[in-house]
Structure formats: structure tokens, C-alpha cells
Structure 1
């Protein structure tokens, strides 16, 4: 006899009726997720200007290069490789590397929340996330790690969003220093 492996379909009528009781918490959770993703997106977009400086090009050209690379990791790799060529000031290079690494850590949290299924309880409250990625070890393969969306995790999301704000400010502070360095160290063209 065939037994379905699908999860049980939610009782949507029951959820709709119960949802008003959990609306405040759900709105808070969704606002946290939205703020985190918006902050992450703004920070990733600022890296276009880092790339613009490192490539010694204009904004539109840097945006074309940036958009042509289809993953955040590829974009950050290009920035790090270009920095090895263009940034000779060791302190400035360390600052840029630290920013890229901090952003990379925040990207893990963003990806986790952007690529998951949210699990609701009978009252309509979001209680867990289920990852949509495979976790492979030497001895096993698992799909869909489930994590509680409890107060501790919400606090972690707040900390991540606060860190995103700091990264944003740090990128803005780095941009003029990076531009001055790259422009000052640009090889001079010999007259023809």
C-alpha cells in the first residue's frame, strides 16, 4: 500500500481564524526578516562602488560587471582579487578584507532566512524555519534542518541587523580612503 511522504496540508481556515491572535509577533518577525534582508541588500550594492574604484571605471560599468557575476561569493572574490592588485596600503587592504569577511558572515544569516520555509503553529505564529539546503557529512545526507524561531534567535537576528548597519557605515567610511589610495597610486601615462 502506498503511503504519501508529503507533510500534512495545513488547515488554512483554522489558521486564518487564529491568525489575528498572533499578528503582533508575526509582524515583528516579518519586520526583522525584512530589515535584515534590506540591510544586506544595501550593503551588497555598496560593493559596486568598491568594485568601481578597484576597476578604475565608472558606476555603470562597475554595475554591469557586478550584475554579470551571479553570486555574492563571486562578486566578493572579484573584489578581493582586484584589491590584491590595486591596494598596496596594507592597513587599507586589511580593512577591506575585514569588511568583506564580516559581510560574508552576515550573508550566511541572510541566505538562511531567504532560502527557507517558515513553519507556523495552529495559531498562525511563525515558530520554526526549515532550511532548503542539503547538509552533507561523511556519513549522512540531510535535507531541511529545522530551527526554532524563538526569542533567542530573534535576538540574534537583531544583532545581525545591527552589525549590517555597522558594516554599511564602515563601507561608506572606506570608500573615500580606497578611492584616494587607488587614484594616488594609479600609474601615470607617458606622453605619446
Structure 2
């Protein structure tokens, strides 16, 4: 028998998810500047492109593909690709809490998230991955928020270093 994980208040967890979403959205919006700088567009046109690409994956793909153009210097390319990898590495946790429902234990145990996604395997379907909303989960969200804030700062530094439109 294993020791129960340290509980976390559901309202506190929801506040963390809100902060994660705010930090994610704020950081993702900086891709506008990267699209503008890499493509030679002004910020207004890059904003239209960003808003037309309706998924994070599409926006990251745009930045990565622009970075890989022959006209982009290797130093610039490597820096953009490193930034997009860092953003992408945070997406699984963000998606876990944005594509789930929450379940509560009638006996007072930790609430849980239940992922609302189907994983199609060779010969079966997997769905409803369950994760406890405990102190460890809260710590993971806090770490993601801190990393997104660091990515945000690093994107702003790159925008300045490469003279991309502000």
C-alpha cells in the first residue's frame, strides 16, 4: 500500500491552471513577432497570419519553417528552433488540463483530471487517462509556468537581438 499524495485545494489548482493559460497565451502571442521578423512582414500582417493559423502547432510550424529558409542565418535559425522546441515541450501539460474533465472523490480524496482524448492503438482504444490533482501535479504546473515565463523573456531577447518588429 502506498502513501496518499499530499492533497491540494481544487480552487488553488484552478487558479494555477488559469495562470498557466495566461502565461501560455501571452508567450504564444510572441510568435507574431517571430513570424514578422523571419518573413519580413510587418507586425500587422504577421498578426493576420498568426490569427489565421488556428492551432498552436500550426503557428509553431510556421515559425520553424520560416526559420529553415536558406536566407535565414544559422545562428538565427538555431535560436528560433530552440525556442519553438521549448514551447512545444510545455504543450503536453497544458493540453492535459485544457482537454479534460474533473472528477471528485466522495470520500474526500484528491480531485482528478480525466483526459478527454482517444489514443488509437493498433488493436484497441485508450481513453480517459486519469491524473490526481495533488501537490505533485501543482508543482508540475508551477514549473511549466516558470519555464513559459523564461521562454517569454528569451523570445523578447531574440526579438531585440535580431531586430524583429515590436
SS at match of 2:101: strand
CA deviation profile, 1:140-166 (whole Å, cap 9, x unmatched)? 211211111111111111111111111
Which shows bigger deviation, 154-163 or 115-124?
115-124
Number of residue-to-residue matches in the alignment: 158
TM-score (norm 2): 0.87
Give the superposition deviation at 1:124.
7.8
Please point out which of 70, 75, 79 is paired with 2:54.
Answer: 70
Is 1:152 equivalent to 2:123 in the alignment? no
| C-alpha spacing 1:125/1:83, structure 2 compared with 1 (3 Å) | same
- Asked if 2 retains the 8 angstrom alpha-carbon contact of 1:25 and 1:125, the reply is no
Pairing of 1:70-109 with structure 2 (within 5 A) = 70-85=54-69, 86-88=71-73, 90-109=74-93
Distance 1:113 1:34 in 2: 10
CA deviation profile, 1:106-157 (whole Å, cap 9, x unmatched)? 1221111111001123378761100011112223211211111111111111
Please point out which of 85, 102, 105 is paired with 1:118.
Answer: 102
- Asked if 1 retains the 8 angstrom alpha-carbon contact of 2:67 and 2:76, the reply is no
TM-score (norm 1): 0.76
Is 1:57 equivalent to 2:57 in the alignment? no
Distance 2:134 2:39 in 1: 44
Distance 2:54 2:98 in 1: 16
RCO (CA 8 Å, sep 6+): is it higher in 1 or 2? 2
- Asked if 2 retains the 8 angstrom alpha-carbon contact of 1:127 and 1:149, the reply is yes
**5+ residue gaps in structure 1?**
1-21, 183-192
Give the superposition deviation at 1:50.
0.6
- Asked if 1 retains the 8 angstrom alpha-carbon contact of 2:110 and 2:134, the reply is no
Bigger radius of gyration, 1 or 2? 1
Distance 2:110 2:58 in 1: 33
- Asked if 1 retains the 8 angstrom alpha-carbon contact of 2:110 and 2:133, the reply is yes
